[in-house]
Amino acid sequence: MANPIRQKEIDERVGKFADKFWGAFQMTENGRVKSTILLYSFCLCWVLLAVYGGCFALLNPWLDGLLSGSALPVWLISLVEALAPAAAGTAAASLVWLLPGDKRLLPAGYLWLTLLMLACLIGLIMLMGWENAGLVLQFFGMFVLAPLALGLSSSLLAYYLYWKKSPVPKIRHGLGKGSENL
Q: What is the CA radius of gyration of the chain?
A: 23
Q: Specify the higher pLDDT residue, 110 or 74.
A: 110
Nearest Cα to Cα of residue 102 among 28, 162, 51? 162
Mean pLDDT of 85-112: 91
Mean pLDDT of 143-155: 91
Mean pLDDT of 105-115: 93
pLDDT above 90: residue 142: no
Q: How confident is the model at residue 113 (pLDDT cuts 50, 70, 90)?
A: very high
Tell me if 86 sits within 8 A of 51, measured CB to CB: no
Tell me if 110 sits within 8 A of 45, measured CB to CB: yes
Largest Cα span, the chain: 81
Instruction: Supply the pLDDT for residue 182.
Output: 46
* Alpha carbons 93 and 110: distance in angstroms, whole number: 10
Least confident of 26-40, 60-74, 122-136, 154-168: 26-40
The answer to pTM > 0.75 is: no
